[in-house]
Amino acid sequence: MARDMGARVRDWFNGGDPQGRRKVAAWARGYDDRRPEGYTFGMMGPALGLSLLAAVLYPLTKGYGSVVALALAAFLLLGRQMIERQVAADVSDLVEAERQYGRTRNPEYLDFAELRAAGMLEDNKMLTAPTRQWLGEKVEWARREKARTEERAAAGATQAARPGAGSKTEPGPLAGGSGQAGQDALTEQDAQAPGDGAHDTAEEAL
């Protein structure tokens, strides 16, 4: 029976499960199988080391040293799990902000993405290299889109500030143009202005 168990374990490592070695390595690092590299560094290795230390300290310290070592191991695992969940939530918010910006073109999503990604890079020291690279790309994307938005706004303001084409003024009825309206206006002026003959007649009467 022990031989069969050993054969199964050996087969599992050597091809019984094609992903056996990767799964063991992921378990040792504390990474999720669905996301092999994780968002943060795994604490399974240090926790395993503390567990072994607890086994060594048990006969030497009558169990007190083991309790301390195991408590530290649990603290590392729980702390890493909390940080991983928080980073996962922040990453989900960044992805949603990018999607909403593509749908609405609201620049507030760019401000949110830039501030959140830059803050994560500055505050969280447990982020893995791929996570830091992804966040850096989000910061660059937000700044690039903001620059494009400002360029489009400046171009629109310049276009609006340009003087429009000169409007053509139509000649009035007194401009000497042809047409019935011009002739009527001239006739009306002649009727209103006193003629020279009428002025001479008035002088003779005096």
Asked whether residue 166 is assigned to any structural domain, the reply reads no
Q: Is 15 within a domain? A: no
| 137 CB neighbour count, 10 Å cutoff | 11
Structural domain that includes position 56:
27-152
**How many whole angstroms separate alpha carbon 123 and alpha carbon 111?**
18
pLDDT tens for 21-73 read 666 665 555 544 455 568 999 888 899 999 999 999 999 998 999 999 999 99
- Whether 174 is in a domain gets the answer no
Establish if 160 belongs to a structural domain.
Answer: no
- Please report, for residues 57, 106, 180, 193, the alpha-carbon distance to residue 204 in angstroms, rounded to integers and kept in the order given: 146, 89, 38, 20
Number of folded domains that form the chain:
1
Considering the domain boundaries, does residue 130 fall inside one?
yes
Q: What is the pLDDT of residue 197?
A: 47
Q: pTM (2 decimals)?
A: 0.61
Locus of tokens 């604490």: 43
- Residues of the chain where predicted confidence (pLDDT) is lower than 70: 1-37, 164-206
Cβ atoms of 138 and 113 closer than 8 Å: yes
In a domain, residue 35? The reply is yes
What's the pLDDT at 33?
A: 43
What is residue 164's predicted lDDT score, i.e. its pLDDT?
61
DSSP one-letter code for 12 = I
Report which DSSP code applies to 19.
T
Does a structural domain hold residue 12?
no
Provide the token pair at 199: 């002025």
Q: How far, in Å, CA of 57 to CA of 72, rounded?
A: 14
Q: What pLDDT was estimated at residue 193?
A: 45
Using CA of residue 129, residue 131, residue 136, residue 141, what is the dihedral sign?
Answer: positive
Note the pLDDT of residue 159: 85
pLDDT at 167: 47
Residue that the structure tokens 């029976």 belong to: 1
> Is residue 6 included in any domain, yes or no?
no
